[in-house]
Amino acid sequence: MMQPLSNDSGIEIKKVYTADDIRGLTLQLPGEFPFTRGVQADMYRGKLWTMRQYAGFSTAEESNKRYHFLLQQGVMGLSVAFDLPTQIGYDSNHVLADGEVGKVGVAIDSLEDMEQLFAGIRLDEVSTSMTINATGFILLAMYVALAKKQGADIHKISGTIQNDILKEYAARGTYIYPPRASMRIITDIFEWCSNHVPKWNTISISGYHIREAGSTAVQEIAFTLSNGKAYVKAAIEKGLDINVFGKRLSFFFNAHNDLFEEVAKFRAARSMWATMMKELGATDEKAMMLRFHTQTGGSTLTAQQPRNNITRVTLQTLAAVLGGTQSLHTNGYDEALSLPTEEAARIALRTQQIVAFESGVPQTADPLAGSYYVENLTRETETAAWKLIEQIDAMGGSVVAIENGFIPDEIAKSAYRYQQQIESGEKIIVGVNRFQEDTRESTPVMKIDSSIQQNQVNRLEALKARRNPSEVTRCLQALQKAAQGTDNLMPLVLDAVENYCTLGEIADVLRDVFGEYKG
């Protein structure tokens, strides 16, 4: 007798589905609570998803060239990748930055670098997403300072900072301060942006990195929504209005290869978040809508036969669009080998454009609705995710579940099981454990010039020689005093970056007050 099949989340997949499998199901229309079928009534007939390619490497000048290239190719929004020292609050001349400057993203030490990064690009004419967490508040301040220098109305600039520190403790590791200090910074951002940058998405609550670390699809949404719940509760405790800040929360999910599992995941996540926000006190439906960005799965890409990744990314693009994403980044086929070359970035963008303009998928909202299989899988996914969330709630919430190791351990167990399945041949990865080839494809790779770090250090030292040292001291002392109390930190950080205090200097002031999290 054939063993029952199940997806990676452990949900059994039947041989065939019938009307009996969705008995009792009520299907609302797209744009109606709980938004299972999408947050807009007409979805992509009214407006396509934002095609937002993630890029950043080397220096601000080099990344600026790539942004102009992408804009010429038809991207609708920019998405900035920062190097590791920037992510964890070190300037390029710090000893711990050695060998890492400009490698996995662009190095940003000061407002001067931000000015170069967006040279020739009006910030009031483009939407920018910044993948930055522990130092997200500093990069946001730099972005706002640059918009002001350009003469833009900061009330009208739009974009997103990732700003999701909880998933860093759970899955990724680029944290600086202890969790509760980090939560204070995040709620300061919520409060400040609601008054000064109201169109800015103040957080992108991220399942992407949880999935990249090895979670299942069910764990991805359960852990992500639990983190979201923790942020909402912290904001409510600070006295913020859920109907105001709730509209500026966004999410960031992964798209993997199992088309139907991914579509069901996205549909379930929308329904669950709407229910959760309503229970937390939201009365405005726009504050209950789960709006999300998707990136295709980096961990699904293979160094073996890398051009196979074009097909994987196409499947993942379809999953994201069929699942109702609001914006999308498609990975380059060469990203298991290096940062994407211009050719790979162009093919990745063209993949989105072909789906948008040639596939017919965007012509109707939620085209898989009513499928016995998809509807049943959506419900099963939601049920399994709620069980995990109830476990986390019983522990005292996401922060406690991270501090006691529950969430990281569950992710690690799933990653281990997945790798075991690959090694045993139970799960087939084309070109890796089946259909291998003896010869390796010749794939051009992008290389970062080793002189970048010294050039960046030289720029930083020149900046420090030009700026006003007394103003720098004043700004940093004022920030330290505010951090020791309860004042909102964002006005002090904005003042500091406008006076060319560096990212590392600002991060260090808060290290002295809050300490560092050791994990």
Q: What is the DSSP string of 249-274?
A: EEEEEEE-S-HHHHHHHHHHHHHHHH
Which of 423, 412, 414 lies closest to 7, judged by CA? Answer: 414
| Helices assigned H by DSSP within 293-341 | 308-322
Token digits of residue 159: 């974009």
Q: Can you tell me the distance from the alpha carbon of 156 to that of 166, in angstroms, rounded to the nearest whole number? A: 29
Phi, psi (deg, nearest 5) at residue 469 = -65, -30
Place of tokens 């169109």: 199
Q: Tell me which fold the domain 5-80+121-136+150-424 belongs to.
A: TIM Barrel (3.20.20)
The helix or strand, by DSSP H or E, that contains position 292, with its residue range, turns out to be strand 292-296
pLDDT reported for residue 3: 57
pLDDT at 440: 72
pLDDT tens for the 519 residues of the chain, in order? 445 699 999 999 999 999 999 999 999 999 999 999 999 999 999 899 999 988 888 889 999 999 999 999 998 889 999 999 999 999 999 999 999 999 989 999 999 999 999 999 999 999 999 999 999 999 999 999 999 999 999 999 999 999 999 999 999 899 999 999 999 999 999 999 999 999 999 999 999 999 999 999 999 999 999 999 999 999 999 999 999 999 999 999 999 999 999 999 999 999 999 999 999 999 999 999 999 999 999 999 999 999 999 999 999 999 999 999 999 999 999 999 988 999 999 999 999 999 999 999 999 999 999 999 999 999 999 999 999 999 999 999 999 999 999 999 999 999 999 999 999 999 999 999 999 998 777 788 877 777 889 999 999 999 999 999 999 999 999 999 999 999 999 999 999 999 999 999 999 999 999 999 987
Task: Write down the pLDDT at residue 441.
Answer: 72
Q: What is the pLDDT of residue 4?
A: 65
Beta strands in 18-123 (DSSP E): 50-55, 77-81
The DSSP code for 163 is -
Write down the pLDDT at residue 76: 86
Nearest alpha-carbon partner for 101 in 452, 463, 447:
452
pLDDT tens per residue across span 199-255: 999 999 999 999 999 999 999 999 999 999 999 999 999 999 999 999 999 999 999
Question: Which residues make Cβ contacts (< 8 Å) with residue 387, sequence separation at least 6?
Answer: none
C-alpha distances in Å from residue 437, one per residue of 67, 123, 268, 302, 430: 36, 47, 39, 13, 10
Burial readout 55-75 (b: 16 or more C-beta within 10 A, e: otherwise): bbbbbbebbbebbeebbeeeb
Residue ranges of alpha helices (H) inside 74-197 are 84-87, 111-117, 136-149, 166-167, 179-196
Domains of the chain, residue spans:
5-80+121-136+150-424
pLDDT at residue 451 in the model:
86
Q: Which residues pair with 161 in a beta bridge?
A: 130
Minimal CA–CA distance to 293: which of 105, 67, 130, 106? 130
Amino acid 444: pLDDT: 83
pTM of the predicted model as reported, rounded to 2 decimal places:
0.93
Q: Give the helix/strand (H/E) hosting 327.
A: strand 327-329
Instruction: Give the pLDDT confidence score for residue 1 in this predicted structure.
Output: 40
